[in-house]
Amino acid sequence: MALSLALTNFILFFVGARLLYQYSNTFRYYFRVCFLIGWMLGMSLLVLPVVALRGRNVANMRVLRFVMLPLKYILGIKISVQGALNLNLEGPYVMVANHQSNVDYLGMIQILPGRSTLVVTKEIFYMLTVAVVCWLSGFIITEDKKAADRASVRAAVAETMVRDNLRIWLFPEGTKNYYTTTLLPFQHGAFHLAVKAQVPVIPVVMSSYRPFFNKKIQRFTTGEVKIQILPPMKTEGLVSADVPELTERVREAMLSTFHEISEGTREQE
């Protein structure tokens, strides 16, 4: 009797959840967002012993890539890439990308070249095992500091990336841009880093997620992301005084591309 009652309750719960997922945008939005975050937490717990055996090493990014790649198929996110050959450079460089939501990581993990890592903020520690796995994969974790301290951190990162032949991925907007159909103003940190190391900047542009992901109206369905990788922008010979102009030049190129590859998404909001 108890077993049949439990089975009935389970079936009713499953059918109810299925109906809510099918007909409620709000339920579907939170379910898929929680699934995305839950996948990251679960997979980080699964691979933690594997990456811990190797210790802190950027080569552990291959393990992260392996466990993250299936997620785009599960969530029904189609990703198309143009300009991938622009990442086929010898030596270190800085990649800068627009930042819209956690969906960004699905596109990033697909195109990230070898010996790549990310600069992230200390807020990643809220994700517990994810933070440990990221640290073991060579992620550079920063915190808000005074200008002089930030300069010394950038100098240390620049020295490390040149010495270890690393490719660094940053989001120059500094925060997730959920609500606008443009790019936020860029912070200068990524460009100071590139100039300090005298390495190229490669802009990476992801199209607007508005047709399938919209936090304001709680929409998260299947969809398509277009990624355009722009040609490298050289920094040889540039100094700190050139960073504002370099920043604006990169942002203008990315903004133009963003509108181009996102054409038609405004009508679908």
pLDDT at res. 197: 95
Per-residue pLDDT band for 267 (boundaries 50, 70, 90) equals very low
Secondary structure element (H or E) that encloses residue 203, with its range: strand 201-206
Q: What's the gap between Cα 218 and its chain centre?
A: 20
Distance (Å, whole) CA 184 – CA 180 = 8
pLDDT at res. 147: 54
Q: What is the DSSP secondary structure assignment for residue 220, as one 8-state letter?
A: E
Of 170, 52, 180, the residue nearest 121 (C-alpha): 170
Q: Does the pLDDT value for residue 269 go beyond 50?
A: no
Structure tokens at 144: 């808000």
Secondary structure element (H or E) that encloses residue 191, with its range: helix 189-197
pLDDT at res. 21: 76
Distance (Å, whole) CA 236 – CA 81 = 28
| 133 within 8 A of 61, measured Cβ to Cβ | no
Q: Does the pLDDT value for residue 152 go beyond 90?
A: no
pLDDT at res. 11: 74
pLDDT tens for 74-121 read 999 999 999 999 999 999 999 999 999 999 999 999 999 989 999 887
Distance (Å, whole) CA 269 – CA 265 = 7
Residue where the block lists tokens 């398509």: 224
pLDDT at res. 268: 47
Of 108, 58, 99, the residue nearest 183 (C-alpha): 99
Structure tokens at 114: 């070898």
pLDDT tens for 41-75 read 999 999 999 999 989 999 999 999 999 999 999 99
Report the chain's mean pLDDT, rounded to a whole number.
88
Per-residue pLDDT band for 126 (boundaries 50, 70, 90) equals confident
pLDDT at res. 179: 78
Query: pTM for the full model?
Result: 0.89
